[in-house]
Structure 1
């Protein structure tokens, strides 16, 4: 990486264009992990091995919205565009969410954060209790918001995804007389979606910050790496949204000098310091 002025944000060329590329292994893991968790849940569930089944459901929830689906929203995997849209539809549909409502709201979040019309980032402007309550209505809220944008090129996707999600949820409920496995799956996925505003908006953003460097918290250290499975790189993502999530740790390493020069203090353990 070339040197840069401490007051000038590094360009992607200076950071390295290799950050945009995934190895075949990383690409396979990105697409394969949620598929594996999905299949394993039903294998374990069919045998009533509930503990590993629940762990797989948690893994599926984690590796979709904030990982694979997130890369698909930003089209960061460099795959065929049509395949990208179908995979986004599939991975979010099996977790009872609209992939393209997510896409619209998330890209708008990048464009309009920290404005009042940022529907995805709204929880960041709420007190903790209200942010927790937001989880119960969040998916419906962003779906209705996205559905109202009728001029969007994804409008038909969003309509179909709503129908598919309702149909899948009804199937899970109507299957109760025969097996509880799909219904338990539905409950676990809904529970997984409940914490999204808390984790992806409230905990990581500081919308009152003066600049974009101060409006998102910077996290470092083994503690946060472990509890978030190397995903707490939200400031880095806001600055360079075109970098796929598998490359976030490397992106963070290359930005450490820049953050230090800007006086951005990372949060390393609960309560030690905050990005203000």
Structure 2
């Protein structure tokens, strides 16, 4: 798959090391999450990749070309800080000013407002907008130049649950159009619901880069119930298919060691005279995978 961005050994030192020798790739058409707590180096990384912060060392390429120049920036839409919209102007007039600054025409204004669900409010003053609407207008402004890549730094920060859902749905709709998206966030739930890939930062160091599902070697687990609970537990515990089996109340959890489908496991249980009243196969949550990853890199 075509690589949009390649980062090699990127480092930034202020009084301390903010970003420490990180490397990762971003492939076209995917949604990437830059995941880490506040102070882990997410915004500094974006700043270097957009040439607003000078790196101490390291290199990167956008679209196969070294560094970030004016031509490159025309293919990138970014929200690193809240744009300074004029509160006394409506959305349309604010976006006309952004279009002038970016050197683009006004033809896409209605289209991007429709994308973020603000077309019906385009004649309303910015000062009347809620925080969520202001953030959606920011995304619209980043889309004006029809970018190949969209960079969003903490796009749901400070929003209520409804606002978070709206931003998430907008990002998913934008991704369906083939735009590559890179999101910085400290929210595990946000990354899990939106992103296909993740780069995990801890104190400026990338401790994982890859698919969300591949963060650990875990194959997931089964949740099971049966009237013959003791017999079910013994069979599961003695099987090489499971690394660990636990019981809580009437629910048995079996952590998968060697992958098996729910259908095949059910057949095995029937062969042993066990008839299951519950059989659900689940993946570990991103939270549990993240905690395991951080623990292993302590």
Query: Is the shorter-chain TM-score for this pair beyond 0.5, marking a shared fold?
Result: no
Tell which structure's C-alpha radius of gyration is larger.
Answer: 2
- How does the TM-score come out when normalised to structure 2? 0.27
- Quick check: which one's helix share is greater? 1
- Quick check: which one's strand share is greater? 2
